[in-house]
């Protein structure tokens, strides 16, 4: 997207998507609370599902002849950007390292990374089955 195509409408679309994704992540955090010494399953869940959804989204958008120019920014940057969270992942990983379970912290940090990368691959594969091979 060219710099001159960025305007208030696009920024509003990204912001609206971010609100939706962030509210969803907040709800998951309420449903799956944790203490600093426990695995933050809510953050793990949103990051892994967000990774899978990003894989599907990329294939879906690339399968379209002329996707709306705001579709990927709204869903990818806004909704999935608000849904997933690197900052919480980093802080919660640090909390686990600092607690009495540094091995649990290491498992969480590495496990989230590996499972997230795997989830992107699963999402791309699912997207290709649904929408055809990427161009």
pLDDT per residue, tens digit, the chain (135 aa), is 555 577 899 999 999 999 999 999 999 999 999 999 999 999 999 999 999 999 999 999 999 999 999 999 999 999 999 999 999 999 999 999 998 789 999 999 999 999 999 999 999 999 999 999 866
Gyration radius of the chain over CA positions: 17
Q: From CA 94, how far away is CA 112, in angstroms rounded?
A: 13
- Residue 135: the pLDDT is 61
Given this model, what pLDDT does residue 3 score? 55
Is 122 in contact with 51 (CB distance < 8 Å)? no
Task: Determine the pLDDT at residue 22.
Answer: 98
Nearest to 36 by CA among 101, 81, 120: 101
Q: Which residues are part of a known binding site?
A: 81, 84
In the numeric block, which tokens belong to residue 113? 């990374």
**Phi, psi (5° rounding) for residue 73?**
-60, -40
Distances (CA, A) of 50 to 8, 45, 65: 26, 8, 25
**Binding region for Na(+):** 81, 84
Q: Which residues contact 109 (CB under 8 A, 6 or more apart)?
A: 89, 93, 96
pLDDT at 101: 84
pLDDT given for residue 6 in this prediction: 78
- Report the predicted TM-score, pTM, of the whole model to 2 decimal places: 0.90
What sign results for the dihedral spanned by CA atoms 101, 107, 112, 115?
negative
């Amino acid at each position: 997207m060219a710099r001159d195509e960025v305007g208030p409408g696009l920024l509003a679309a990204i912001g609206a998507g971010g609100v939706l994704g962030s509210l969803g992540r907040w709800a998951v955090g309420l449903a799956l609370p944790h203490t600093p010494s426990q695995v933050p399953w809510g953050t793990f869940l949103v990051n892994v599902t967000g990774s899978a959804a990003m894989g599907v989204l990329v294939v879906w958008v690339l399968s379209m002849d002329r996707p709306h120019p705001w579709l990927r920014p709204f869903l990818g940057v806004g909704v999935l950007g608000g849904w997933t969270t690197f900052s919480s992942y980093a802080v919660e990983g640090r909390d686990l390292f600092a607690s009495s379970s540094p091995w649990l912290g290491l498992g969480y940090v590495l496990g989230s990374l590996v499972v997230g990368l795997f989830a992107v691959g699963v999402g791309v594969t699912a997207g290709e089955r649904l929408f055809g091979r990427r161009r």
